[in-house]
């Protein structure tokens, strides 16, 4: 990076720089001793991710390697051609490629490698806790056993806990374009692994597949002491968010962008402290927003909503959690204080126990005090 002449000159005299900083820090109480760039500040802040589809972390390079190993053909001639196909006009455009790509995952080791690759990547981004969605029906409908899927994912999560110090929770999603009977069957299979699963969720094509379609299966999940979340208000209307709250009794709403058109809904979300897991780069790539500068995050924060920043499907949308923080920070001109609030929200909105939440939020505050 080119620096201007003044910056270069002063950097020749670190002592002078230090004296100036001390002076400003002491008398103006503005610049602390080590002011980080916004990129470094985001990179270093401890954070959790609460909206992440493990199948959406499947990078083309790993996909190609696993496809070869399993003698599966990918529709595209090269990795470049595949990446060029990641030009979506809406959610369905993306889902078509996402489900097709997941078709190369066959063995337990494949699910392990995909999950492990994500965890290794976000470890470099100071992610300390991940709540991860998986879509068993995407695989069981192709004849892959439920156990193959969950065993591979779970093994990687355990390795991450032991080797990388990343804690995690697993959220099993029902595909809302399929019928409720299929979801009930999937729930039955999942109950054998109840100790590994924290919550159930609802994803895939939102429009015309309202939460009400899945009321019975969510009631059954609740009876089994599973928590509930649901994608709502990404492409669908505010009414779907009401349904997710009233009928599915969700603890969190995934996306929730369209809540802003309904003042009563906003009041309800604020009053009940229901978090929204917002995904800026996903919203941009799937044309939920035309420009990140028009993203509703700032408005959501100003309304007092408990919002968090997440990556959704990072291999498809051009960024992991830090890239999402950075893109929205630049677009909306967020401050370090805003970023600190968002990182604290990520723990407050998580399914960690209260003591752990408080501990992590204190760590974020400490980081802010040392690096603001």
Residues marked as catalytic = 234
Q: Which does 113 bind (CB under 5 to 8 A by kind): Zn ion, ligand ADE, none?
A: none
282 touches ligand ADE (CB under 6 A): yes
Beta carbon of residue 305, minimum distance to ligand ADE (angstroms, whole number): 19
CB of 305 to Zn ion, least distance (A): 18
Q: HSE, CB side, 13 Å, CA atoms: give it for residue 161.
A: 10
Who's near 332: CB < 8 A, 6+ residues apart?
Answer: 292, 293, 295, 297, 298
| Among ligand ADE, Zn ion, none, partner that 234 touches (CB below 5 to 8 angstroms by kind) | ligand ADE
Per CB under 6 A, the list member of 108, 131, 234, 243 interacting with ligand ADE is: 234
Least distance (Å) between residue 20 CB and ligand ADE? 47
| Nearest position to ligand ADE, beta carbon | 203
Nearer to ligand ADE, 46 or 275 (CB): 275
Beta bridge pairs of residue 127: 47
Instruction: Establish if 131 lies at the interface with ligand ADE (CB under 6 A).
Output: no
What residues form DSSP beta bridges with 52?
Answer: 132, 312
312 binds ligand ADE (CB under 6 A): yes
Cα(85)–Cα(53) distance, rounded to whole angstroms? 19
Minimum CB distance to ligand ADE, residue 236 (Å): 10
Report the helix count and the strand count for the chain, using DSSP H and E: 19, 8
Q: Does 60 bind ligand ADE (CB under 6 A)?
A: no
Who's near 57: CB < 8 A, 6+ residues apart? 114, 115, 117, 118, 121, 313, 314, 315
Binding-site partner at residue 108 among Zn ion, ligand ADE, none, CB < 5 to 8 Å by type = none
Cβ nearer to ligand ADE, comparing 46 with 280: 280
Nearer to Zn ion, 135 or 312 (CB): 312
Torsion on CA atoms 221, 139, 196, 190, rounded to nearest 10:
40
Rounded CA separation 8/235 (Å): 49
Query: Least Å distance between CB 55 and ligand ADE?
Result: 7
Query: If residue 50 lies in a helix (H) or strand (E), which one and from where to where?
Result: strand 47-53
91 counts as binding ligand ADE under rule CB under 6 A: yes
Provide CB contacts within 8 A for 168, sequence distance 6+: 129, 130, 131, 132, 157, 160, 161
CB of 263 to ligand ADE, least distance (A): 25
Q: Which residue's CB is nearer to Zn ion, number 45 or number 171?
A: 171
Name which of Zn ion, ligand ADE, none residue 204 binds, using a CB cut-off of 5 to 8 Å depending on partner kind.
ligand ADE
- Which candidate, 245, 290, 298, 239, places its Cα nearest to that of 271? 245
* Nearer of residues 47 and 53 to ligand ADE, judged by Cβ: 53
Name which of ligand ADE, Zn ion, none residue 56 binds, using a CB cut-off of 5 to 8 Å depending on partner kind.
Answer: ligand ADE
310 binds, among Zn ion, ligand ADE, none (CB under 5 to 8 A by kind): none
Q: Give the Cα separation of 226 and 362 in Å (integer).
A: 28
Applying CB under 6 A, does 213 fall inside the site for ligand ADE? no
Any residues with CB less than 8 A from the CB of 19 and at least 6 apart, and which?
none
3-state secondary structure of 253: strand
Residue nearest to Zn ion (CB): 312
Q: Which of 315, 230, 234 is nearest to 56 (CA)?
A: 315
Contact between 285 and ligand ADE by CB under 6 A: the answer reads: no
Q: Whole-angstrom Cα distance, residue 106 to residue 71?
A: 10
Binding residues (CB under 6 A) for ligand ADE: these are 53, 56, 91, 203-204, 231, 234, 282, 312-313
């Amino acid at each position: 990076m080119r620096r201007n002449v003044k910056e270069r000159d002063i950097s020749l005299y670190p002592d002078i720089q230090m004296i100036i900083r001390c002076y400003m820090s002491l008398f103006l109480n503005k610049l602390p001793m080590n002011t980080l760039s916004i990129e470094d500040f985001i990179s270093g802040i401890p954070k959790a991710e609460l909206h992440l589809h493990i199948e959406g972390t499947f990078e083309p390079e790993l996909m190609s390697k696993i496809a070869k190993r399993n003698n599966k053909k990918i529709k595209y001639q090269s990795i470049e051609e595949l990446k060029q196909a990641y030009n979506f006009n809406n959610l369905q455009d993306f889902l078509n490629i996402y489900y097709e790509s997941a078709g190369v995952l066959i063995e337990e080791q494949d699910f392990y490698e995909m999950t492990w690759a994500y965890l290794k990547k976000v470890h470099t981004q100071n992610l300390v806790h991940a709540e991860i969605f998986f879509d068993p029906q995407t695989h069981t409908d192709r004849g892959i056993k439920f156990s193959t899927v969950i065993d591979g994912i779970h093994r990687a999560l355990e390795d991450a806990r032991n080797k990388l110090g990343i804690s995690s929770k697993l959220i099993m999603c029902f595909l809302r374009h399929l019928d409720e009977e299929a979801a009930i069957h999937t729930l039955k299979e999942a109950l054998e692994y109840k100790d590994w699963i924290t919550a159930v969720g609802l994803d895939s094509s939102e429009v015309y597949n309202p939460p009400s379609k899945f009321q019975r299966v969510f009631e059954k999940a609740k009876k089994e002491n599973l928590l509930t979340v649901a994608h709502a208000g990404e492409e669908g209307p505010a009414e779907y968010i009401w349904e997710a709250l009233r009928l599915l009794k969700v603890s969190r709403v995934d996306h929730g962008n369209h809540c802003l058109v309904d003042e009563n809904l906003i009041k309800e979300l604020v009053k009940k402290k229901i978090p929204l897991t917002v995904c800026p780069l996903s919203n941009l790539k799937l044309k939920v927003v035309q420009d990140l500068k028009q993203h509703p995050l700032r408005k959501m924060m100003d309304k007092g909503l408990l919002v968090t920043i997440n990556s959704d499907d990072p291999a498809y949308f051009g960024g992991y959690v830090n890239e999402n923080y950075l893109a929205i920070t630049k677009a909306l001109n967020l401050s370090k204080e805003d970023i600190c609030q968002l990182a604290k929200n990520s723990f407050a909105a998580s399914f960690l126990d209260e003591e752990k939440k408080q501990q992590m939020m204190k760590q974020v505050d400490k980081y802010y005090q040392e690096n603001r």
